[in-house]
Amino acid sequence: MSNSVRTRARQHIPGGGFDSSGGPRQGKVEVWGKIVVTNYNRGGENLTPSDLGLKTIEWIDIKFENAIAGSGGGQEREAFFSAADNQFYLLEGREPLAATADPVLLFNACGDDFDSELL
C-alpha cells in the first residue's frame, strides 16, 4: 500500500517543447528508474509528477521488471497509468494484482522540469 520511486537517470531534452496549451516552451526532461511497491493497493497506487521529480507528466511508460509471473510461464503482467487520477494499476492476466504482492516496476517518463522557468 505504498511505493518508493528510485530515479536512476534524468536528462534534459534538447530543443523546444510545448506547454499544455500548445505554446513553445523549453525545459522538458526525461527521467527513468524503478518503483518498488509494498503491499499493492488494488484500488490503484498514487504516482504524482513530483514523485518523479517533474512538474507535469506528459508521457509515462510503466512496466513490470519481471513481466511474467511465477515459474513455468504463469500469467503476463501489465501496468497502466491514469493521468486523470495520477495513479497506476497493475494486472496479472485479466485480474488486478494480488493485494499482498510486492512488485518492482520500471518507468520512463517525460514532462516539464521544476526548474524550467529558469531556462
- The whole-number average pLDDT for the span 76-102 is 92
The pLDDT, as a whole number, for residue 68 is: 77
Per-residue pLDDT, 5: 94
Q: Which domain holds residue 37?
A: 2-118
Q: How far apart are CA 27 and CA 35, in angstroms?
A: 24
Lowest mean pLDDT among 28-42, 87-101, 104-118: 104-118
Alpha-carbon span 109 to 74, nearest angstrom:
28
Q: Domain tally for the chain?
A: 1
d(CA 30, CA 35): 16
8 A C-beta contact, residue 36 and residue 6? yes
Cβ-based neighbour number of residue 60 at 10 Å:
19
Could you tell me the CA-to-CA distances from 73 to 27, 76, 83 in Å, in that order?
43, 8, 31
Q: Is residue 118 pLDDT above 70, yes or no?
A: no
Domain CATH for 16:
2.60.40
pLDDT tens for 54-81 read: 998 999 999 999 887 655 567 789 999 9
Mean local confidence (pLDDT), 95-102: 89
Residues 6+ apart with CB under 8 A from 58: 28, 110, 111, 112
In the predicted structure, residue 119 carries a pLDDT above the cut 50: no
Strand pairing class (104-112; 95-96):
unpaired
pLDDT at 40 over 50: yes
